[in-house]
Structures are given as structure tokens and as C-alpha cells.
């Protein structure tokens, strides 16, 4: 859908310049020098020819259709150039020029006008304020970067133009090739969602890489990425995470949620691998680019030195991978062929005097073993070591096998030539074994994602109209926070269980209610004006008989009047006293990028002190909900410790799904806490004790 | 103390060989070729000359004193060569030969004999089964490595010989220089403790680096490292820690890998920086080698590109460093001199068109700011960027200032020359800003350690003889586990508080005891044969009056007789019922490498499920004890949440110190748990409810 950007037949460079060092010159020169085979038209009213090419004074003059216009004129002229584009029927433009949103209010206004203009005429725009793009498929370097990368299967987009220049320079040295290389600038029109989709559909792109500081359309990002990552891997470095932006939040969930948790949840739910550093991004990229996915987690280590073998085994232990346990056959054939001192168990030590043939024998044996899914070959450059020859042998084996093979040829000068040989053989080499293990681990984690079914979001039955009427009433009154009775109406409409309760306007009514419900009971003040009931003595628990009920009715209402004199008192709620169980919290807050962010954790200190919580973006499926519950560190407490019975985990999962649907159905709900949900033993359900909900007005 | 190893006047190579590719040849050639200025004597009964040098048929023939003998003969002949060394009066030997402990029982026996022989004659020995050593100070390459590193101020020792070869090769490419480079092999005699001491005393070594799979003498390591790290930094990669890694370790050099927690504690207590990977080891090493320590945590970021600045700021947030807040003066002068679009706050964005002079101006201003302790300069290679010139400017500033300066010139090919310039200017450059921040962070954390006073281990008053008599009694009886009364005798001898209690042999005695102690009381069966008292109904709590006391006396003793008919019943313990408080656990177990390992954590699920505990090697000082308490994740629960009063943290600290001294005074104590220690509110102390102690027989 962005084909005019990546493979245009004709490109116009508006603002092409004769002056070396100017962006309009460098960019035009880049298009010329790297073998772009389409037609290129420099446009500049003040020049006759640039670099031997005839210059056109305006787009109108160009004798044929222009598929892509690259605009390099000062910001204040970009608008009129776009007018010419409209006239000329250009549907794809790249605006390199800076001086828009990033430069202040005036620029922001200019950017807004630009956006409206292109939207009206269905023009797609990359930028403004970007480095441009490179498409190796058409040998098009429509950027002012100083380098042209080799052709390869990595598609890269970056929100930082300068980072592009650094990565290009680095990629040239590291022989890393790209299919597309895109600087997205201010992403006024084309953003990461468009590019993920385009690179997802691009047959020349095997791996999608990105550097992002933020995401514009969170929901679209999740759904698009989720589809694309089922076909090909996507690895993102997201920075700017820790920037303090603590907004006031009234709920636990709101306090604990934050951009970082939302990103982690969104990436997890959409199969995006998050790299922690740029280095890790490319460490991962190389293995995805070169090697097949492993069928399982079992890694075999082959080394000519003990120490690095131990280092690698340690790294395996800290990953999702497992050390492969070889079959008897493998062990027997290794034992019969290797010197007595060699270790034939994992990690296999082929000893310091191993030449290429010994490595070859061992690797071939190991990849035949059904218990092995991936192999890491470690080599240290010892006196007898045949470095290049071993690299060649590994490359040949890698081509024949469908198992994952990576190497860690450790060293520098003496192993340099071998790095190139391995690269040519499509075997990613890592200077240190820890990085090699981490790369295979990423490959394996991605394979798990690929095999995981997409979440099935089942519609549960709910009384939506009840919720709608509560919300409408509040919006009508201009009140943001629901009182307890309203909150309960909302959640019971979605099937949450709450304690039996009756509102009582008098001592007599309270006594009658208590007898109907059965002792012991709890009594709570009911008032839209009192949010923190306990703080004013508005809650009494464990009431055993009618006399007590009457006495507390008086006490509670008197306290309410005394502490909050103008509060509207609706009476006192008499409630079933819920038996003991595990206290958990379910919550939701709205993330500015991804929308409804669900939270789950154990109540009390687990949330407040240990911050032991987990997040997902709603809507979630059954498996997501199950994972949420299992992910918290204190999960063993739910499963039961010291011979205790398990809590009703199924009930928690079901309640999470109800919450997910509720907040998806009603975007008016801004924040909510179900705190606590008391969970009983397996098969005995869960009851909501309190819920706080606030809505948008 | 190891001067004959590092600067010998005469070296003999026993087993020097004419045959290329043989270790005896390569090693001899290495000594010859790198400019060693002492005298070198090849020894080989079967050769006349090697590489133009006259060969001696035995050590005896050598006409002068031999200061260092390097032995490269097969394992079975090493013993007789050492006999010759003894005869000749050689006091320093390196045994390169393999075929010792690492090769099985026979080799282990051979190694033991070798060790006894050298000990008897006060010979120091490096190896066996090692690569040798390199000392750039005397241009001595007494190893069979293929490279000779440049001279520098890094002292490196490694338990893996092959890792040495890889690191040497890498160091040559990275221009990393060494003072000493030592392969420690099986470390039969000279081990890491000796080397830490030697490198600590070596004026040519500024930074000590090590790769270890285990530590032989834990206590000596801690005390030696603690002294040395006050003078110079020490960075260690310790592998073989995890289960899978440990398995590999035992099959490799026969090292018994110790518990990870013990290593972490020992390193923390001795100021050793633990690097997670070999890469990190050298990332840290370069900054320590080149740059001064920062006076504080405040880092200034200067960048010509927004993205990498954000990446670096994120990394700062995840470290112990802080983003520097510039003074008004700095901000004003930056604002007046930089283009309007530049960001003059931290991270400072000098913009993409910044040339060397703009970088220079900004760096100079920033290092003058008293709020800045360290500077990271980031550069991406953009069109206008003066890469080499900027590197030169930074190098010049770095020489003049005493503040820490590091760089992240991002890129590859185009920034290569600048890397060399920066290296020459003693400015460590990092390809990615995250590594640069992590390196400065290591520098800062080390500066904290340098300024931290060594722990003062104060002797507390204790009744040692009481403990001694309990232990002697048990050893005499051949019983390993102390019964409750014995354990209480031990801990009260060291000042632990326990509930008031009286042992009662009859109903009457029990009633009297309860009245003396005051109600409510607890009653417990007292028997050396019943360890798990609760399980048989041997414990009753909350007893309110004399009638109940009598009834429970009967009940408890009857149950004991019924469940464990042959148990010796000493009566029933009547005990003060302790008020509520926070339950914590104090414990100790003996680590095979480091000895008494103290543990602290909150009781119950915090330890069992969340594994929220912390460790130190005893003896500990006051500050260590305080850090232990503060280190656990659930510390806020002790300090008090939700307006609760703080627990008596001082009491916990004091009890940790008592425990530390107890287990230091009595190495016979193998394991103990004080569980729970009930801690009351501030100034109200803590009481031990139960203690389990086991001793060695």
C-alpha cells in the first residue's frame, strides 16, 4: 500500500540543490549514486542543472506522472509545494524539512495545516522532520544519510533520524543488510502502524525492527502487530519509558499503571519482542535474519574450552531455554570418537586441540539427536585451532540442517576472517557466548508466540442497559464518582457476585434486613458524598444481633452527619458478612496510548509495598486472564502453600474477563478498582466487597 | 611477593621443544620474541639447540641461579623436574602441563603429591594445567598464547586458560593494555587470593580483573579483597553459579561451585564489582583504567541527537546515577551561545549540525558546573559532524579536568578513527549509550565503596562458656540437634531475649509457674525426643487461668506419651504469651567456600513464597546489619505502612550482630534458625520464640 514510497517509477526532489553539504544536494546525490533505475527529476526554480541533470523549475513542468515527491524546501514553503503535488496528482510525499511540531507552536500549527491538506487529497506523507527512506529493492536512497546499506531482509524504522545515521554506519561495518530503512520523523501521517503493516506485507522483509519513543495509535498498533508477528518477527526498542509523568490517579490501578507497564503489556499481547538496548536489537535481528526457529527449547553447547562453556550454561539457566540432554546414541558415538578427556555431555568439550574435523563430527552428531533443537558452537582461538576452516564447516552444516545454529567465535583480530565466513554462511556469530544464548532465547520465545493461538474474546452475557442508565444518570448530574450502590449495580450487571445487602432507612428497617440476610452482618453508611467510609467511622463489621444493629445504625448516621455535615445520607447498607478468603484486586485505568489497562494482584501489602501486579490491555481472552493470575510473584499463595487448599483461580479468571468486557463496552469508565475481591477455595467462587468506579463526564 | 614470577632475572623452560606447534616450543618462542631482557635457558635432554639457543640437558647444568622455572613436560615427569628445582634452589615455578586434578583420580593424587613437595620446600607454584602468564613490565610472555597484549594498567587473572586466548586476541584489536595477564589453572598453590594481593601491591596495576568459577579460600578472599579494593577497583566475572553451570564446573576443573548468594554477599562485603558478562567486565575495565572516579552521582548528557539522549536518560534512571540539574549560570551561558532550537537542560541537545567547537563550548561549560560530577558525550555521525575533530577536543578537555568523561560515538566505519583518538586521549568510548551509562554507574558505585568505612566488628559481651558446655555435652552424647531448652541456653548466653518460662514437672508446678509469669501463658511439651511439638498437639497457646493450665498439663503429657511412647518427657514448659509483633527470621548456614552465611527476612510467606531474604558472611558490622534489614523488598512493612508505627529495627540489627558473633565464636554450629523473632514497635525490643540449632559432631 506504500509502493510509491518503496518502488516509485519516478521521483521528484523538490528543493534539490547545487550546493554540496546542503540536505537538498546530498539527498539528490544519494538517489543518483546508488543505482536507482527509475526516473529522477530535480526541482528548483533557481537552477538549470544539478550534477549533470536538467532541473525543472516546478513540479508542473515535469513531463510525466510523478510517483514520489521528496520535499527539501524550508518549512514555510512546504505548503505551496504540496499544493503543486495535489495539482500534479502526486499521491506519495516525503517531507524532509524540519520546522514543524518539534520547533514550537507555530510549527505545530503549520504541521496541522499540512496534515489537513494531504488528508483532503488522500496523499500519504512520510515526515516531516525526517532523514528520508532507503529501499534496497529499488536501490533507492531517498535520504541524506552518508551511507547506503547492503541489501538484506531487515526492515527498520526509527523515530530518531540521528540514530538512523549511526546505525547505518555501524551496519556497513558489520555487514548487516536491510530491505527498507525508514526515518519516520514527526509521523504526522505515516506512523509505526502503517509501517508495521507495509513491512508485514513486504516479501523482502523477514524481520521488522523499530526504534520508538511513543506510539500514536495504541489499539491499532496492537491489532496490526498481532497479525504481523504471526507471520514474521518484530523487535522494538522503546525508549523514553522512565520519563516521569505521574498524573494524579484516584485508584490503586491508576497509581500503579504507567506508560512502561502499558507498553510491556501491549508488546506481550501483540508478540512484539522488546529489546532493552540497540545492541540487543541487532543481536536478535541477526539470528532472526539468518536462522530457522527452533522446534523446542533444548540447546546443545559445543566448545573447545571449559570456561566459556560454563558461561554459556549459566546464560541458558537464566533464559527460557533448556540444556539439551543427549540420547544414548549420541553419547556413545561421541564417546567412541572423541579423546578420553573430552566431555561428551552438554556442554560438550571437544578440547583445546580440536581441529575443524572434530568440530564437524560433533556438530553433525548433535544435530541428528532428536533431543536437540538448537546448537551453539563456541570457539576460542587456541594454538591448534583451525579458525576459518571450522567456520566454513559450520556454514556448510547450517545450510543442510533445519535446526538453529549460532556461534560464538571469541576473540578479535585472529577471528575476524571467520566472522565474515560465518556471515556468508548465514550463521550469526557473537563475540561472547552470553549474547549468543540470549539471541537463541529470543528466537525460541518468538516460536512460542507463533504457536500460541490468538486470544478468543468471548462475549459474555451482560445487562448493558443497566450500566448505560447509571452512566447516563451520572453524566446528567455531572458527578464523576459512583457511590457504592451505583458501582454495585454496574458490576452485578456484568455478573460479578456481591454480598447480599439491603439498604435501610431506619433502625427498624436495618434490623429486619439483618434478619433476612442472616447474622453476622456488616453495616455501612450510604451517601454519594462520602467516598472513604471507614475514615469517618462509617463501617462496622461483625454485627451479631438486632440490638447491635440498631445501636450501630444510630452511631453510623450520627458520625456521618458530624464529619460531613452537608452529606446527603441515603441510609445504612446492611450486608452479608463474607467468610474469609484470599483478597485480590482487579482494576483498570485508561492509558493514553493503549486505552483500558487491566491490573491484577493480591490485595494489601502485596500491591502497596511489593507492587506485585500484572497488566494487560483489554479486551483479553481466557489465556491472557490465566496468564495474568499466574504471573504475579505471589501466585503460590493463591495456589495454596503449606497444604492449604487452592483458591478458586477459575473464579478470578472469570472475573477478569467480565471486567475486560465491561471496560471495553463502556469507554466512559475511566478508572476502576475492585478491591477486594474475596476469593474462596476452589469451586467456591469469589465475592466483590468493594468497587470504585469513575467515569468521564 | 611473587616478584620472581613477574620480573625474573633468569627463566628456565623445562620441556622447551624444537617442534613447532608444541606448547614447549610456542612458549619458549614467546619468551624470546617479545623482548624479555633477562636470561632464558631452554632445558631438554634430547636437544642441542632450539631457535638458535643452546639447550641444557637439565636444570643442574645451568650456570647461574634460576629465578623462575616454567615446566612443560608431560604430567608424569613434573615431579622429578620439581625435585631438580629443589636441588637447584628455584623458588618460583609455573606448571603448564595438564594431567592433574582435572583428569581424574590418578591426576588428583599426582597433584596432591606435587603440592606437598613444593610446600615442604617453600616453592610457590602457578598451575598446573594453565596457559602461563604475561608480565608487560618485564616484556615476559611465559605463556603459549598466540598474542602479546600492549602494556597497560589492567591486571587480569583467569581460571579458564582458553578464555585467556580469546580475550588476548580481542584486546589486541581493541587496543586494551595489561600490566599482568595470568592463567591460574588448577590453582593448587597460587590462587586468586595470592594474585589479588600481588596485583593490589603492584604499582603498575590500576584495575584488577578476574574470571573465576569458584573461590578456594573464602574468608581470606574477603579480607584480602576488602583491603585491596580500598586502594584499587576489582571487577570479577564469576560463572558456574547456576545449577546447570555448576554441573559443568565440576566436570571442568573439579571446582566445587558455591552458592550464588554466598558469592553475592562476599563480593558486596569486600567491594568487588561483579560483572555479569565478559563484555561488561571490559566495559567497566576501560572506564576504571582511563578515568577518575566521580565525586557524586550527577551525570550530564550532551548529545547531537534526541533519540540517543533519551536512551541514555532511560539508562540513568535504571542506575544509581542521577541526571545532573544544571546551575542557572550554566543554563544561561548555554542559552546565550547555542542556537534557539538547542535544549539547554539535561540531556543537552547541541543539534545535528554541531561541529567540534560547539561540543567544546558545551562540555567546558558543563564541567565547570559544581552540580555535575560526570559527563557522557554522545555523537551520531551526521552530515555536518566533525567526528575526529570532536574526539580530539574531548581528549584535550579530559586531560585537564578531574571530572569523569566518557563518550558514546555511535556508528562503525566512519567513527573508527575517532575511537582510536579517544583511546589515546584516555576517554573510553562505547558504541551504545547504555553501556557508557552502565560504566559510569560502576565507577560511581565503586566510589561509594571507597568512601564507606570498613565494618567495625565490635565484640559484644557473651557467656561463651555456657555455649561451650552445651556443645560439649551434645558432642559427648553424639546428638546433633539441640532441644528447645538447649537452644535457648545458647542464645540467651549471647543476649537474645526469650519469653519468660519455667519448666514444670507437675500440674501444681505448672499452675504456680503460670501465676509467676502472669496470664495469658503458652504451654509446651519438653522432650529431647520431640522436635516438631505442634504436630503431636504438644503446644497450647492463650491459656487464661489456673484450671486451664492444669487441664492442658494433663492433655499435653498424655498426647506425648501416646504419639511417641518412648520419648523422654522432662515436663511441660510454661511460657509468657508474647504480644503481637512483626515476625522475622534470622538464620545461618555454613557455605563451603565462605563459611558462616547469615540470612535475614520476614517470616512466613515472605521467605517461603517470595524468597525475600538477604545474606552476609559473618562476622558483620553494624552497617552491614542495617543494610541487611533495609535490603529486603518487604522492608517497608518493618518501617510501617498505613500510618503504623515502625518496628524496632535497632533490635533486629542488634540481634543480627549477636547471631554473627555467636556463629563466628563457635564454628561447631552448622546451621541455625531463629524463627520467629517477634519484633515489637520502636524501642520495645524483640523476643525469640523458637530457635533451631544443629552442631557438628
Residue B381 and residue A163: Cβ atoms within 8 Å?
A: no
Measured in angstroms, the CA of B47 and the nearest CA of chain A are apart by 23
Measured in angstroms, the CA of A459 and the nearest CA of chain B are apart by 36
Interface test with B, best of A307, A317, A532 (most B CBs within 10 A): A307
pLDDT for the residue numbered B259: 64
pLDDT for the residue numbered A642: 74
Residue B307 and residue A162: Cβ atoms within 8 Å?
A: yes
Higher pLDDT, B473 or B382: B473
- What number is the average pLDDT over the span A298-304? 97
CA distance B553 to B540: 10
- What number is the average pLDDT over the span B438-445? 97
Higher pLDDT, B252 or B655: B655
Q: Which helix H or strand E contains B623, and what residues bound it? A: helix B622-631
Say if residue B243's pLDDT is above 60: no
Residue B305 and residue A26: Cβ atoms within 8 Å?
A: no
Residue B169 and residue A347: Cβ atoms within 8 Å?
A: no
Per CB-CB distance under 8 Å, the chain A contacts of B242 are 313-314, 317-318
pLDDT for the residue numbered A383: 80
pLDDT for the residue numbered A258: 66
pLDDT for the residue numbered A243: 43
Taking one residue from A and the other from B, the number of pairs with CB-CB distance under 8 angstroms is 238
Residue B610 and residue A21: Cβ atoms within 8 Å?
A: no
Residue B171 and residue A411: Cβ atoms within 8 Å?
A: no
pLDDT for the residue numbered A252: 58
**How many CA atoms lie less than 13 Å away from A74 in the CB half-sphere?**
1
Per CB-CB distance under 8 Å, the chain B contacts of A338 are none
Measured in angstroms, the CA of B280 and the nearest CA of chain A are apart by 10
CA distance A463 to A451: 36
Say if residue B616's pLDDT is above 70: yes
Say if residue A399's pLDDT is above 50: yes
**Model pLDDT for residues A166-215, shown as the tens digit of each residue:** 888 888 877 789 999 999 999 999 999 999 999 999 999 999 999 998 88
Strands (E), B32-145: 39-43, 49-50, 53-54, 68-71, 92-95, 124-126, 132-135, 140-143
Residue B242 and residue A317: Cβ atoms within 8 Å?
A: yes
Q: What is the full DSSP assignment across A413-451?
A: TTTHHHHHHHHHTT--B-SSHHHHHHHHHHHHHHHHHHH
**Model pLDDT for residues B269-280, shown as the tens digit of each residue:** 999 999 988 889
Give the nearest partner residue to A380 out of B165, B380, B432, using CB atoms: B165
Residue A434 and residue B240: Cβ atoms within 8 Å?
A: no
pTM of the full predicted structure?
0.86
Per CB-CB distance under 8 Å, the chain B contacts of A317 are 242-245
Residue A308 and residue B163: Cβ atoms within 8 Å?
A: yes
In contact, B133 and B126? CB cutoff 8 Å = yes
Q: How confident is the model at residue A245 (pLDDT cuts 50, 70, 90)?
A: very low
- What number is the average pLDDT over the span A365-388? 95
Residue B172 and residue A412: Cβ atoms within 8 Å?
A: yes
Residue A310 and residue B161: Cβ atoms within 8 Å?
A: no
Per CB-CB distance under 8 Å, the chain A contacts of B174 are 412
Least confident of A376-390, B531-545, B682-696: B531-545
- Search chain A and give the residue with CA nearest B23: A383
Residue B239 and residue A314: Cβ atoms within 8 Å?
A: yes
Q: Find residue A601's DSSP bridge partners.
A: A585, A613
Interface test with A, best of B176, B211, B213, B244 (most A CBs within 10 A): B244
Strands (E), B337-494: 348-349, 374-379, 404-409
Residue B432 and residue A637: Cβ atoms within 8 Å?
A: no
Measured in angstroms, the CA of B215 and the nearest CA of chain A are apart by 15
Per CB-CB distance under 8 Å, the chain B contacts of A384 are 21
- Search chain A and give the residue with CA nearest B104: A341
- What number is the average pLDDT over the span A12-20? 94
pLDDT for the residue numbered B27: 94
Average pLDDT across chain B, whole number: 91
Q: Which domains does chain A have, with CATH numbers?
A: 3-205 (3.40.50.720), 292-451 (3.40.50.261), 500-576 (3.30.1490.20), 582-695 (3.30.470.20)
pLDDT for the residue numbered B256: 27
Give the nearest partner residue to A306 out of B253, B311, B383, using CB atoms: B253
pLDDT for the residue numbered A241: 53
pLDDT for the residue numbered A229: 97
**Taking Cα atoms as reference points, which of B383, B26, B226, B210 lies closest to residue A132?**
B383
Per CB-CB distance under 8 Å, the chain B contacts of A341 are 103
- Search chain A and give the residue with CA nearest B239: A311
Measured in angstroms, the CA of B561 and the nearest CA of chain A are apart by 27
Residue A411 and residue B174: Cβ atoms within 8 Å?
A: no
Higher pLDDT, A147 or A594: A594
Say if residue B289's pLDDT is above 90: yes
- Search chain A and give the residue with CA nearest B147: A414
Give the nearest partner residue to B609 out of A410, A434, A637, using CB atoms: A637
CA distance B485 to B501: 10
- What number is the average pLDDT over the span A469-473? 96
pLDDT for the residue numbered B249: 35
The Cα-based distances of B338 to A99, A502, B345, B353 in angstroms read: 17, 70, 12, 11
Per CB-CB distance under 8 Å, the chain B contacts of A318 are 242
Residue A278 and residue B434: Cβ atoms within 8 Å?
A: yes
Residue B103 and residue A144: Cβ atoms within 8 Å?
A: no
By CB atoms closer than 10 A (0-12, 13-18, 19+), residue B122 is exposed
Residue A165 and residue B317: Cβ atoms within 8 Å?
A: no
Give the nearest partner residue to B307 out of A213, A609, A634, using CB atoms: A213
Measured in angstroms, the CA of A333 and the nearest CA of chain B are apart by 20
- Search chain A and give the residue with CA nearest B351: A162
- What number is the average pLDDT over the span A662-674? 95
Q: Cis bond leading into A552, ω under 30°?
A: no
**Cβ within 8 Å of residue A121, ≥6 positions away:** A86
pLDDT for the residue numbered A248: 42
Write down the ipTM of this complex: 0.82
pLDDT for the residue numbered A246: 34
> A153 is written with which cell numbers?
531482509
**Model pLDDT for residues A97-136, shown as the tens digit of each residue:** 999 998 889 999 999 999 999 999 999 999 999 999 999 9
Residue B305 and residue A163: Cβ atoms within 8 Å?
A: yes
Higher pLDDT, B251 or A615: A615
Q: How confident is the model at residue B240 (pLDDT cuts 50, 70, 90)?
A: confident
- Search chain B and give the residue with CA nearest A605: B637
Per CB-CB distance under 8 Å, the chain A contacts of B435 are 277, 279
- Search chain A and give the residue with CA nearest B158: A307
Say if residue B306's pLDDT is above 90: no
pLDDT > 90 fraction of chain B, expressed in percent and rounded = 73
Residue A431 and residue B242: Cβ atoms within 8 Å?
A: no
**How many CA atoms lie less than 13 Å away from B601 in the CB half-sphere?**
19
pLDDT for the residue numbered B252: 26
Least confident of A251-265, B32-46, B214-228, B545-559: A251-265
**Cβ within 8 Å of residue B275, ≥6 positions away:** B235, B236, B237, B281, B283, B284
- What number is the average pLDDT over the span A398-418? 93
- What number is the average pLDDT over the span B7-21? 94
Q: How confident is the model at residue B255 (pLDDT cuts 50, 70, 90)?
A: very low
- Search chain A and give the residue with CA nearest B408: A166
DSSP state of A196: H
**Model pLDDT for residues A55-96, shown as the tens digit of each residue:** 999 999 999 999 999 999 999 999 999 999 999 999 999 999
Per CB-CB distance under 8 Å, the chain A contacts of B146 are 381-383, 414
CA distance A441 to A463: 46
**Model pLDDT for residues B381-397, shown as the tens digit of each residue:** 988 899 999 999 999 99
Percentages helix, strand, coil for chain B (3-state, rounded to 5) are 40, 20, 35
pLDDT for the residue numbered A240: 73
pLDDT for the residue numbered B640: 86
Interface test with B, best of A314, A601, A603 (most B CBs within 10 A): A314
Give the nearest partner residue to B244 out of A23, A240, A313, using CB atoms: A313
Say if residue A254's pLDDT is above 80: no
Q: How many CB atoms lie within 10 A of CB A460?
A: 13
pLDDT for the residue numbered B258: 40
Measured in angstroms, the CA of B278 and the nearest CA of chain A are apart by 7
Per CB-CB distance under 8 Å, the chain B contacts of A383 are 21, 23, 26, 144, 146
pLDDT > 70 fraction of chain A, expressed in percent and rounded = 97
Average pLDDT across chain A, whole number: 92
pLDDT for the residue numbered B506: 93
Say if residue B248's pLDDT is above 60: no
Amino acid at each position: 500500500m506504500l509502493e510509491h514510497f518503496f518502488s516509485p517509477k519516478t521521483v521528484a526532489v523538490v528543493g534539490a540543490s547545487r550546493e554540496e553539504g546542503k540536505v537538498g544536494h546530498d539527498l539528490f546525490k544519494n538517489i543518483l549514486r546508488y543505482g536507482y533505475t527509475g526516473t529522477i527529476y530535480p526541482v528548483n526554480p533557481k537552477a538549470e542543472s544539478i550534477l549533470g541533470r536538467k532541473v525543472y523549475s516546478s513540479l508542473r513542468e515535469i513531463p510525466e506522472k510523478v510517483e514520489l515527491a521528496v520535499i527539501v524546501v524550508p518549512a514555510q514553503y512546504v505548503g505551496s509545494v504540496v499544493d503543486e503535488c495535489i495539482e500534479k496528482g502526486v499521491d506519495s510525499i516525503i517531507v524532509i524539512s524540519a520546522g514543524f511540531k518539534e520547533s514550537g507552536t507555530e510549527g505545530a500549527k503549520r504541521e496541522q495545516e499540512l496534515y489537513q491538506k494531504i488528508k483532503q487529497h488522500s496523499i500519504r506523507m512520510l515526515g516531516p522532520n525526517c532523514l528520508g527512506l532507503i529501499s534496497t529493492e529499488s536501490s533507492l536512497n531517498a535520504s541524506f544519510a552518508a551511507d547506503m546499506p547492503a541489501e538484506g531482509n531487515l526492515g527498520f524504522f526509527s523515530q530518531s533520524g540521528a540514530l538512523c545515521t549511526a546505525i547505518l554506519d555501524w551496519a556497513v561495518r558489520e555487514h548487516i543488510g536491510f530491505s527498507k530503512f525508514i526515518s519516520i520523523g514527526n509521523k504526522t501521517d505515516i506512523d509505526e502502524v502503517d509501517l508495521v503493516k507495509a513491512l508485514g506485507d513486504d516479501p523482502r522483509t523477514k524481520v521488522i525492527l523499530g526504534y520508538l519513543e511513543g506510539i500514536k495509535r495504541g489499539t491499532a498498533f496492537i491489532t496490526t502487530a498481532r497479525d504481523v508477528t504471526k507471520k514474521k518477527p518484530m523487535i522494538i526498542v522503546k525508549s523514553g519509558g522512565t520519563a516521569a509523568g505521574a498524573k494524579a490517579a484516584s485508584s490503586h490501578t491508576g497509581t500503579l499503571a504507567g506508560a512502561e507497564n502499558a507498553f510491556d503489556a501491549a508488546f506481550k499481547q501483540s508478540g512484539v519482542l522488546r529489546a532493552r538496548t540497540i545492541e540487543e536489537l541487532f543481536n536478535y535481528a541477526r539470528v532472526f535474519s539468518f536462522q530457522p526457529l527452533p522446534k523446542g527449547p533444548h540447546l546443545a553447547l559445543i566448545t573447545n574450552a571449559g570456561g566459556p562453556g560454563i558461561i554459556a550454561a549459566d546464560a541458558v539457566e537464566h533464559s527460557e531455554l533448556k540444556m539439551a540432554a543427549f540420547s544414548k546414541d549420541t553419547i556413545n558415538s561421541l564417546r567412541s570418537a572423541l579423546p578420553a578427556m573430552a566431555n561428551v555431555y552438554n556442554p560438550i568439550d571437544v578440547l583445546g586441540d580440536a581441529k575443524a574435523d572434530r568440530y564437524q563430527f560433533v556438530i553433525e552428531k548433535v544435530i541428528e539427536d532428536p533431543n536437540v533443537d538448537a546448537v551453539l558452537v563456541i570457539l576460542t582461538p587456541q594454538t591448534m585451532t583451525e579458525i576459518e576452516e571450522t567456520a566454513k564447516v559450520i556454514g556448510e552444516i547450517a545450510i543442510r540442517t533445519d535446526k538453529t545454529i549460532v556461534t560464538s567465535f571469541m576473540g578479535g583480530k585472529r577471528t575476524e576472517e571467520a566472522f565474515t565466513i560465518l556471515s556468508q554462511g548465514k550463521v550469526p556469530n557473537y563475540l561472547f557466548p552470553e549474547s549468543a544464548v540470549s539471541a537463541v532465547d529470543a528466537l525460541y520465545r518468538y516460536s512460542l508466540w507463533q504457536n500460541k493461538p490468538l486470544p478468543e474474546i468471548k462475549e459474555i452475557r451482560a445487562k448493558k442497559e443497566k450500566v448505560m442508565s447509571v452512566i447516563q444518570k451520572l453524566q446528567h448530574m455531572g458527578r464523576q464518582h459512583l457511590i457504592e450502590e451505583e458501582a454495585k449495580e454496574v458490576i452485578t450487571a456484568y455478573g460479578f457476585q456481591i454480598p447480599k445487602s439491603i439498604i435501610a432507612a431506619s433502625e427498624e428497617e436495618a434490623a429486619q434486613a439483618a434478619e433476612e440476610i442472616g447474622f453476622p452482618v456488616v453495616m455501612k453508611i450510604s451517601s454519594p458524598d462520602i467516598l472513604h467510609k471507614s475514615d469517618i467511622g462509617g463501617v462496622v463489621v461483625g454485627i451479631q444481633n438486632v440490638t447491635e444493629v440498631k445501636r450501630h445504625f444510630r452511631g453510623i448516621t450520627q458520625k456521618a452527619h458530624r464529619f460531613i455535615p452537608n452529606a446527603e445520607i441515603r441510609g445504612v447498607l446492611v450486608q452479608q458478612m463474607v467468610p474469609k478468603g484470599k483478597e485480590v484486586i482487579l482494576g483498570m485505568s485508561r492509558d493514553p496510548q493503549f486505552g483500558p489497562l487491566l491490573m491484577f494482584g493480591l490485595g494489601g501489602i502485596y500491591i502497596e509495598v511489593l507492587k506485585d501486579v500484572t497488566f494487560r490491555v483489554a479486551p483479553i481472552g481466557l489465556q491472557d486472564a490465566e496468564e495474568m493470575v499466574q504471573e504475579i510473584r505471589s501466585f503460590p499463595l493463591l495456589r495454596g502453600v503449606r497444604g492449604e487448599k487452592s483458591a478458586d483461580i477459575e473464579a478470578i479468571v472469570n472475573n477478569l474477563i467480565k471486567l475486560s468486557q465491561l471496560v471495553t463496552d463502556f469507554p466512559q469508565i475511566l478508572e476502576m478498582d475492585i478491591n477486594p475481591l474475596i476469593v474462596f477455595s476452589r469451586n467456591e467462587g469469589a465475592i466483590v466487597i468493594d468497587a470504585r468506579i469513575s467515569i468521564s463526564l
